[in-house]
Amino acid sequence: GELFDAKEYYFICTHVIGSAYHSSNSPSVYPATGLPYHLSFHEITVRDLVHAQPLLANNLEIQQLEILIGGSLGGQQALDWAVSHSIAINHLIVVGTNAVHSPWGIAFNESQRLAITTDRTFYANHPDGGAKGLKVARAMALLSYRNYTTYANTQKEDDNEKLDHYKASSYQNYQGEKLVKCYNAYSYYFLTKAMDSHNLGRGRRSIESALASIDCPTLVLSVNTDLLFPPQEQQFIAQHVPNAHYQEIESTYGHDGFLIETKKLTKIISSFLREQKEYINELV
């Protein structure tokens, strides 16, 4: 609402294949057995997620996108879609993402999957399977989404005599339980696998050449305290995409800054779009 006027733009937001909210996911029913897929669900890649998007665009009779925007996993998809050239894109905006998922990011995801698979109920192929493991995985993930400063600012104790029930402990438990109530371990497991697969160079000459093929004005944004997708990953993207503009946002929220710092994002994105519009008007 702050950035894009609904009177001027149509908004399309899709759930990805494998998501707990998507019709095609591990809890969905396998026609051959009449039972949910659960662990037998196919492993998917970011490119698989991207291949589904043009199908929707074709169904909606959309031939071009004015703005393609995504952050984190959404940014990975946006980049791969732009590289695929399966639809005309006028402006590309990516936030807190990368051209290939890092060993650091894969290690975080694998650690979360280890937590999930340690829960024996994960192998029961039950809707609530792996719930305890998912809670732990979510608590682990939060450490990569935030950072030391974030926790120091929000979870600091005022009581020098406290020996248990710390704010940080309560926060980790709360966030883990919150996700368990609205998600499932199987979808979480397969989507972390999908993120690990992200590599713009796969099946192409190189990562650099893939980025160089992006031919629309591109805005690349990073958060200065992002531990999971550090700024050097966005800088790499901006260095290899022709006509790319790079901006770094200052925030104490780490990776989650791309979700929280809406005013800063609005200011930068508005400026980028305004400059592009002025440039086009000059050409006309």
Distance in angstroms (rounded) separating the CA atoms of residues 128 and 205: 43
Beta strands in the chain (DSSP E): 29-30, 35-36, 64-71, 88-95, 218-223, 244-249
Which pLDDT value is given to residue 59?
Answer: 93
Distance in angstroms (rounded) separating the CA atoms of residues 113 and 125: 16
Is the four-CA dihedral 253, 230, 182, 172 of positive or negative sign?
negative
Which pLDDT value is given to residue 8?
Answer: 83
Which pLDDT value is given to residue 93?
Answer: 98
Q: Which residues pair with 35 in a beta bridge?
A: 30
Tokens 């368990």 sit on residue: 180
43-101+199-283, CATH topology level: Rossmann fold (3.40.50)
Which pLDDT value is given to residue 283?
Answer: 59
The alpha carbon of 113 is separated from its chain's Cα centroid by a whole number of angstroms, namely 17
3-state SS class at 85: coil
Distance in angstroms (rounded) separating the CA atoms of residues 111 and 139: 11
Query: Active-site residues: which are they?
Result: 72, 226, 255
**Which DSSP letter does residue 18 get?**
T
Which pLDDT value is given to residue 23?
Answer: 75
Q: Are 215 and 125 in contact (CB under 8 A)?
A: no
Domain 105-195 has CATH 1.10.10.10: no
Cβ-based neighbour number of residue 1 at 10 Å: 6
- Strands 88-95, 64-71: pairing is parallel
User: How far apart are the two ends of the chain, measured CA to CA in Å?
Assistant: 29
Which pLDDT value is given to residue 4?
Answer: 80
Which pLDDT value is given to residue 213?
Answer: 98
Distance in angstroms (rounded) separating the CA atoms of residues 200 and 127: 34
Across the 284 residues of the chain, what is the mean pLDDT of every consecutive 10-residue run? 78 90 87 90 94 92 95 97 95 98 98 98 94 98 96 95 95 97 96 97 97 97 98 98 96 96 94 84 60
Domain boundaries, given as residue ranges, for the chain:
43-101+199-283, 105-195
Which pLDDT value is given to residue 5?
Answer: 79
